[in-house]
Amino acid sequence: MKTIGILTSGGDSPGMNAAVRAVTRAAINRGIRVMGIRRGYSGLISGDIFEMDVRSVSDIIHRGGTVLYTARSEEFKTEEGMQKAIQTCKEFGIEGVVVIGGDGSFRGASDLSARGIPCVGLPGTIDNDVGCSDYTIGFDTAINTVIAMVDRLRDTAQSHDRCSVVEVMGRRAGYIALEAGIAVGASAILVPEVPYDIENDVLKRMEKISKTGKKHFIIIVAEGLEITDKLTEIIAERTQMNTRSTVLGHVQRGGSPTGYDRVMASRMGYHAVELLSQGIGNRVVAFKDSKIVDFDVQQALSMHKEFPVELYKMAYEISI
C-alpha cells in the first residue's frame, strides 16, 4: 500500500489525536503516504483532504478533541455517497483508510472495505460501548474528568450536608458511571445494565448509611436512564435532605488525554498501520484480555461485552 487516509468519525474523544499521530508517523516511517481526511466520511465525500507529514502531527499528543475534526454523514450511508467517497479515494490515490470512531463508523468502514478500499477501525469513544474491546480511546480521560468534577462537588456537598445527584455520560451504557462511581465512593450507582429499585437501592440504603453518621451523599446516574431530575425530586422529598442534581455533560468529552489514553491510542494506531501495510483491511483493532488484537468488522459488530456486575456489587458493599 502506497497511500492511506485517516479520519475521525462520530463523537470526538480525548486520545484521538494520539492515535492520529501514531498512524501518521508509523505509516510515513514505512514509506507510506498519509492523507488527512477532515470531518469523517463527509470529508471523504467532499474531498476535504490534505497530505500529512511527520510534523503535521506535532504538538497534538496532549490535546483533546481531534485535529481532523469529526462529523456524522447521512450521505455516506447511501450508495451514491459511498460511490462518491470511493471516487475521492481514487483521485487522491488512497488505497486504505484508518477510521477512528464507534460502531457506526465501523459499519461505514466495512461498507468501504467491501467496495475495495480496505479499512481498519480504532475504537474511539468515551462511552466504552464497543462490544469487541475492553477499552475505548478516551474512556480513561472521561473517568478522570468525572472524578475531578465530583471531588469538587463532594467538598460542597460535605460542607452543606447535601445529597448530590450527578448524571454522567455513556449514552446507553453505564461504564463511565460504574468506574467513576467506584472511584468517587458514590453511595449509589444507577446504570442501564443492572436492574434497580429506587426504594431499596437508593432511599433505604441512604437511610441505613445515614444511621452510621454519614451526612452527605453522592449518587451517580448514567445518562441513558433519563431519571436524574425525577430521582433528585424523590430523594429530596423522601429524605428531606438538601438535594441537588448536576449534569456534567460535554466537559466529559474534552480535556487533555490521560497517560493511559495516550499510550493505548498510540498502540492501537500503530497496530492499524501494521495491518494496512500488509494490505489487511475490514478489521477493528481492540483491547482484549490485556492485549491489542484485531477482529473482522462484522464479527466485531456482533460481539457483546458483559457488564462487570461483580464490580457493581463490590461498589455497593464498600460504599456504606
Contacting positions for ligand ATP (CB under 6 A)? 9-11, 41, 72-73, 76-77, 101-105, 107-108, 111, 125
Taking CB atoms, the residue at the shortest distance from ligand ATP is 104
Q: Give dist(CA 252, CA 255) in Å, integer.
A: 8
Residue numbering of the annotated binding site for ATP: 11, 72-73, 102-105
Contacts by 150-158, CB closer than 8 A, 24 or more apart: 150/180, 150/184, 150/186, 150/218, 150/220, 151/184, 153/218, 153/246, 154/184, 154/216, 154/218, 157/216, 157/217, 157/218, 157/244, 158/215, 158/216
* Least gap, CB of 141 to ligand ATP (angstroms): 14
* Least gap, CB of 205 to ligand ATP (angstroms): 32
32-96-288 Cα angle (round to 5): 100
- With 0-12 / 13-18 / 19 or more C-beta atoms within 10 angstroms meaning exposed / middle / buried, residue 280 is middle
Question: Which residue, 72 or 238, is less far from ligand ATP as judged by CB?
Answer: 72
Active site residue 201: no
Residue numbering of the annotated binding site for Mg(2+): 103
* Least gap, CB of 54 to ligand ATP (angstroms): 28
From 127, 140, 261, 294, the catalytic residue: 127
3-state secondary structure of 32: coil
Residue numbering of the annotated binding site for ADP: 21-25, 154, 211, 214-216
Question: Which residue, 45 or 163, is less far from ligand ATP as judged by CB?
Answer: 45
Question: Which residue, 29 or 299, is less far from ligand ATP as judged by CB?
Answer: 299
* Least gap, CB of 139 to ligand ATP (angstroms): 12
Note whether 121 and 297 are within 8 A (CB). Answer: yes
Question: Which residue, 73 or 187, is less far from ligand ATP as judged by CB?
Answer: 73
3-state secondary structure of 290: coil
Question: Could you give the residue numbers annotated as active site?
Answer: 127
